[in-house]
């Protein structure tokens, strides 16, 4: 994969010598205003990267070309495919089995709903389990909900929905208590003080207070372990692994009433009918927008966005993606894998091929990533075996805080071991990696979309992060809005049920595609990335 | 070893019955993908090693017994024989309700009631050999059976929920779920941070209002 504008950089041996001679690296002034840095170097602003959507609820809005092609694709299904399909009924259908899906399923089941959870891979597989850094909640005495609210808005360039952000930060402390009740652990400032005492707090990039709570540097794994057991043991939830959604079902009044699922094991179609459907399908990193590697899990292919958009749900900020500053650039077999912001939070510096610091490491992620891309574009990167990156100076961090790599940055040390070097002696080679979809489905504070019967939670939603997400707000979002959407869905399912379910929205959708001159050849959703060596059409063929 | 890119002849291995070639240095999962084989299950985090989805049986040339591993973490080697291990549910659920577990004096009874097989451990160490993370699983089982919750929970700190120990246990102890039971109990019954509880009290008393129109909630005025 290539992304244009990168020159060869400085050779690894020369760069290593420059780093070694200068460490700890002296800072070089940036010389550019933040707005100019973002405009010049953030991938969202790449010339020709965005196209205008010409069909659907967001007609006229900018969107990355690869995503637009999927959003404006035709269905994989025809009415005839539904005949004879297996039918399952539930009160609430949850699409997606990551963090948001699990929280939503638990909340709906505990509100009395019969819940069906359908997931493409396996319950628990998703980006949540891979989250490393932590979860934000304003619990410090010097901190406040108001500060968390304003920090989130500012980091998102004031593009977020204020009511959503207020709901997010306002539920924050209660979300932490909820997680502890589910059996999730958190790091303490003093491990002996389990009753009383204080949670360990770190400062996320762009924050005005130490607000990031964590469990070592695998917070998402700890969260997901507790949630997975909770879902498995919760009466009233049935889990269907290996059942990606191919289409939403709509009734003759345009209300969403479930989804058509492809049973990958039996190669058959299943119609899951429900009073309310919660979209919790996560993000789009595996589309490798702008040719970037990604830190996302295998299933992050924007399926939920495609289905919701086609059925009439409005999206927002679809032209805004987060590139995490520190993905691995070398060795190639770990390319794109994330090194947590916890490393920079702890004090690790970013250093270019000349041995210089070039950015305040804890500035917001979009600023740090843009500054890194600028170094690479202007020839100050480090080249190694054809890969280009910048140094993450772990040896200086270890010298300044002996033992930190082994005790607090275990995942990082484990990655270095797999890359074949000692992070206490040699710096990592890193570069920005496609990490998070800032925008998504527009929702209200109860998690409802504009399409009746369809709710959403987690990364698939938009409006919470504006145009740049703060570290630690993604895990918080999935808990807060998973709970809200689950409770709303259980309530909605008690209302009048959808009737005459089918693919009622497709006729109008296809008319729209043809009217826009797009044709019906392109099909979606994608389900698996191209290197999965299988298309949805392959999976539909040989159907029993 | 990190100085040069491993080069040279491709490795030959057999993966789920497919004879394939792989570049030296790639993981088993990358070898499968590079061979053009379809990948729709047994995959998740693609290399971070945290989701436990890509479980494989691996046998090297000359070895009599196959071992278990995660395909995203295990480098391909010459002559390996590999097969994915599909996920299957535990034989029976070990059901409990964490929120109903309020009497912490009864913890040994609770563990015994939910996981009665734990005290029947045969000490075969099949679970230890199965664990791709090197957790001393059997020791955790024995500690949990004695009611040593904190010690058992700490041993399961690195668990990635691959459930290979569940598949390995001849007594159907379900060590992975027992480990999570101790971890969840540990947090839910004993973690009570004062700072969090203070903030919750303030919120419930209405002392943490959010002003949507505060000056800091809008872009600074351009001059």
How is A447-502 classified by DSSP, letter by letter?
Answer: SB-SSTTEEE-STTEESSSTTSPPTTHHHHHHHHHHHHHHHHHHHHTTSPPP-S-B
A418 interaction partners in chain B (CB closer than 8 Å): 49, 73
Half-sphere exposure of A354 (CA within 13 A, CB side): 11
Asked if B62 and B149 sit in the same domain, the reply is no
Q: What's the pTM value of the predicted model, to 2 decimals?
A: 0.96
CB contact under 8 A, B44 and A195: no
Residues 84-103 of B with CB under 8 A from A: 87, 93, 95-99
Residue B59's domain comprises 11-84
Report yes or no on B6 lying in a domain. Answer: no
Cα distance between residue B52 and residue B69, in whole Å:
9
**Residue A47 exposed, middle or buried by CB count within 10 Å (0-12, 13-18, 19+):** exposed
B54 interaction partners in chain A (CB closer than 8 Å): none
Report yes or no on B22 lying in a domain. Answer: yes
Report yes or no on B159 lying in a domain. Answer: yes
B163 touches chain A (CB under 8 A): no
Report yes or no on B27 lying in a domain. Answer: yes
Q: Which of B84, B112, B130 is the last residue of a domain?
A: B84
Asked if B49 and B103 sit in the same domain, the reply is no
Measured in residues, chain B has a length of 223
pLDDT value, residue A4 = 40
CATH of the domain at B151: 1.10.1060.10
Nearest CA in chain B to A137: B196
In sequence order, which residues have a C-beta less than 8 Å from that of residue B126 and are 6 or more positions away?
Answer: B168, B169, B170
| Number of structural domains found in chain B | 2
Asked if B50 and B111 sit in the same domain, the reply is no
Asked if B106 and B181 sit in the same domain, the reply is yes
Asked if B76 and B45 sit in the same domain, the reply is yes
Report yes or no on B48 lying in a domain. Answer: yes
CATH of the domain at B71: 3.10.20.30
B99 interaction partners in chain A (CB closer than 8 Å): 181
Distance from CA of B160 to the nearest CA of A (A): 7
Asked if B119 and B63 sit in the same domain, the reply is no
> For residues A216, A218, A220 and A226, what is the CA-based torsion angle, rounded to 10 degrees?
-70
In the predicted model, residues of chain B with pLDDT beneath 70 are 1-7, 222-223
Asked if B79 and B148 sit in the same domain, the reply is no
Report yes or no on B220 lying in a domain. Answer: no
Nearest CA in chain A to B203: A170
CB contact under 8 A, B217 and A264: no
Q: Which of B30, B57, B84 is the last residue of a domain?
A: B84
Report yes or no on B67 lying in a domain. Answer: yes
CB contact under 8 A, B210 and A298: no
Asked if B111 and B184 sit in the same domain, the reply is yes
Residues 116-155 of A with CB under 8 A from B: 121-122, 124-126, 129-130, 137-141, 144-146, 149-150, 153-154
**Core vs surface per residue A365-376: b (16+ CB within 10 A) or e:** bbbbbbbbbbbb
Q: How many A-B residue pairs are in contact by the CB < 8 A criterion?
A: 199
Q: Please write the tens of the pLDDT for every residue from A8-67.
A: 799 999 999 999 999 889 999 888 999 999 999 999 998 888 999 999 999 999 999 999
| Residues of A designated as active site | 365
Cα distance between residue A513 and residue B216, in whole Å:
43
Asked if B79 and B110 sit in the same domain, the reply is no
Q: Are A409 and A217 in contact (CB under 8 A)?
A: yes
Asked if B126 and B49 sit in the same domain, the reply is no
Cα distance between residue A509 and residue A44, in whole Å:
28
Cα distance between residue A373 and residue A392, in whole Å:
14
pLDDT value, residue B151 = 97
Distance from CA of A35 to the nearest CA of B (A): 13
- The continuous run of DSSP H or E covering A308 comes out as helix A303-311
Report yes or no on B222 lying in a domain. Answer: no
Q: Which residue has the tokens 């009290």?
A: B201
Distance from CA of B125 to the nearest CA of A (A): 23
Local structure of B201: helix, strand or coil: helix
Residues 7-46 of B with CB under 8 A from A: 25-27, 30, 33, 36-41, 43-46
Q: Kind of pairing, strands A268-279 and A454-456? A: parallel
pLDDT value, residue A5 = 42
B135 touches chain A (CB under 8 A): no
Asked if B52 and B20 sit in the same domain, the reply is yes
pLDDT value, residue A2 = 40
Local structure of A517: helix, strand or coil: coil
Asked if B69 and B140 sit in the same domain, the reply is no
B48 interaction partners in chain A (CB closer than 8 Å): 130, 337-338, 411
**Residue A83 exposed, middle or buried by CB count within 10 Å (0-12, 13-18, 19+):** exposed
pLDDT value, residue A541 = 84
CB contact under 8 A, B40 and A528: yes
CB contact under 8 A, B193 and A186: yes
The tens place of each residue's pLDDT in chain A, 544 residues long, gives 344 445 579 999 999 999 999 988 999 988 899 999 999 999 999 888 899 999 999 999 999 999 999 999 999 999 999 999 999 999 999 999 999 999 999 999 999 999 999 999 999 999 999 998 899 999 999 999 999 999 999 999 999 999 999 999 999 999 999 999 999 999 999 999 999 999 999 998 889 999 999 998 899 999 999 999 999 999 999 999 999 999 999 999 999 999 999 999 999 999 999 999 999 999 999 999 999 999 999 999 999 999 999 999 999 999 999 999 999 999 888 888 999 888 898 899 999 999 999 999 999 899 999 999 999 999 999 999 999 999 999 999 999 999 999 888 888 998 999 899 999 999 999 999 999 999 999 999 999 999 999 999 999 999 999 999 999 999 999 999 999 999 999 999 999 888 899 999 999 999 999 999 999 999 999 999 999 999 999 999 865 4
B98 interaction partners in chain A (CB closer than 8 Å): 181-183, 230
Distance from CA of B44 to the nearest CA of A (A): 5
CB contact under 8 A, B195 and A199: yes
CB contact under 8 A, B2 and A421: yes
């Amino acid at each position: 994969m290539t992304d244009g504008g990168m020159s060869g950089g400085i050779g690894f041996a020369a760069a290593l010598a420059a780093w070694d001679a200068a460490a700890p690296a002296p800072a070089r002034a940036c010389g550019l205003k933040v707005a100019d840095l973002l405009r010049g170097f953030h991938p969202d602003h790449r010339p020709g990267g965005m196209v205008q959507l010409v069909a659907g609820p967001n007609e006229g809005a900018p969107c990355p070309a690869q995503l637009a092609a999927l959003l404006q694709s035709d269905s994989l299904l025809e009415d005839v495919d539904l005949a004879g399909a297996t039918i399952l009924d539930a009160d609430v259908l949850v699409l997606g089995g990551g963090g948001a899906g699990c929280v939503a399923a638990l909340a709906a089941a505990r509100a009395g709903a019969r819940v069906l959870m359908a997931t493409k891979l396996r319950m628990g597989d998703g980006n949540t389990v891979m989250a490393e850094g932590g979860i934000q909640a304003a619990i410090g005495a010097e901190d406040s909900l108001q500060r968390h609210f304003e920090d989130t808005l500012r980091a998102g360039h004031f593009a977020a929905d204020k009511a959503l952000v207020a709901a997010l930060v306002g539920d924050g402390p209660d979300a932490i208590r909820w997680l502890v009740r589910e059996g999730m652990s958190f790091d303490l400032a003093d491990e002996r003080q389990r009753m009383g005492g204080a949670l360990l707090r770190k400062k996320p990039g762009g924050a005005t207070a130490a607000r990031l709570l964590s469990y070592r540097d695998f917070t998402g794994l700890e969260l997901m372990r507790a949630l997975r057991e909770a879902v498995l043991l919760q009466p009233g939830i049935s889990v269907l692994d290996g059942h990606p959604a191919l289409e939403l079902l709509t009734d003759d009044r345009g209300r969403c009433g479930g989804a058509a699922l492809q049973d990958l094991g039996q190669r058959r179609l299943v119609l899951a009918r429900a009073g309310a459907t919660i979209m919790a399908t996560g993000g789009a990193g595996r589309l490798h927008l702008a040719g970037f590697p990604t830190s996302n899990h295998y299933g992050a292919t924007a399926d939920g966005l495609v289905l919701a958009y086609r059925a009439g749900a409005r999206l927002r900020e679809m032209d805004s993606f987060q590139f995490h500053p520190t993905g691995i650039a070398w060795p190639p077999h770990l390319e794109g894998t994330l090194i947590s912001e916890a490393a920079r939070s702890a004090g690790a510096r970013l250093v270019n091929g000349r041995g210089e610091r070039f950015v305040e490491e804890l500035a917001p992620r979009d600023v740090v990533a843009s500054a890194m891309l600028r170094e690479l574009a202007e020839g100050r990167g480090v080249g190694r075996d054809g890969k280009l990156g910048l140094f993450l100076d772990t040896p200086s961090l270890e010298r300044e805080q002996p033992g930190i790599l082994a005790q607090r940055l275990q995942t990082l040390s484990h990655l270095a071991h797999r890359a074949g070097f000692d992070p206490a002696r040699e710096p990592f080679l890193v570069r920005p990696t496609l990490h998070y979809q800032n925008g998504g489905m527009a929702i209200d504070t109860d998690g409802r979309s504009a399409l009746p019967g369809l709710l959403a939670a987690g990364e698939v939603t938009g409006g919470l992060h504006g145009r740049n997400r703060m570290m630690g707000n993604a895990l918080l979002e999935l808990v807060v809005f998973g709970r809200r959407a689950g409770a709303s869905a259980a309530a909605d399912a008690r209302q009048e049920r959808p009737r005459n379910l089918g693919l009622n929205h497709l006729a109008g959708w296809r008319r729209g595609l043809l009217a826009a001159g797009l044709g019906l050849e392109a099909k979606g959703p994608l389900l698996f990335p191209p290197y999965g060596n299988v298309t949805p059409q392959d999976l539909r063929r040989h159907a029993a | 070893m990190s100085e040069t890119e491993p080069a040279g002849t491709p490795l030959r291995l057999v993966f789920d019955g497919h004879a394939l070639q792989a570049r030296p240095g790639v993981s088993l999962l990358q070898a499968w993908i590079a061979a053009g084989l379809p990948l729709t299950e047994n995959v998740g985090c693609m290399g971070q090693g945290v989701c436990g989805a890509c479980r494989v049986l691996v046998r090297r040339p000359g070895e009599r017994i196959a071992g278990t591993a995660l395909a995203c973490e295990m480098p391909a080697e010459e002559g390996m024989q590999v097969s994915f291990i599909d996920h299957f549910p535990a034989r029976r659920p070990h059901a409990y309700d964490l929120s109903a577990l309020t009497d912490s004096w009864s913890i040994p009874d609770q563990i015994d009631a939910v996981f009665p097989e734990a005290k029947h451990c045969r000490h075969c160490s099949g679970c230890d050999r199965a664990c791709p993370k090197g957790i001393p699983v059997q020791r955790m089982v024995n500690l949990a059976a004695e009611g040593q919750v904190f010690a058992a929970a700490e041993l399961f700190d690195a668990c990635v929920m691959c459930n290979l120990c569940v598949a390995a246990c001849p007594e159907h102890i379900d060590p992975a779920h027992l480990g999570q039971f101790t971890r969840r109990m540990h947090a839910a019954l004993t973690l009570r941070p004062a700072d969090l509880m203070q903030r919750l009290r303030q919120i419930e008393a209405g002392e943490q209002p959010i002003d949507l129109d505060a000056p800091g909630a809008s872009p600074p005025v351009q001059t």
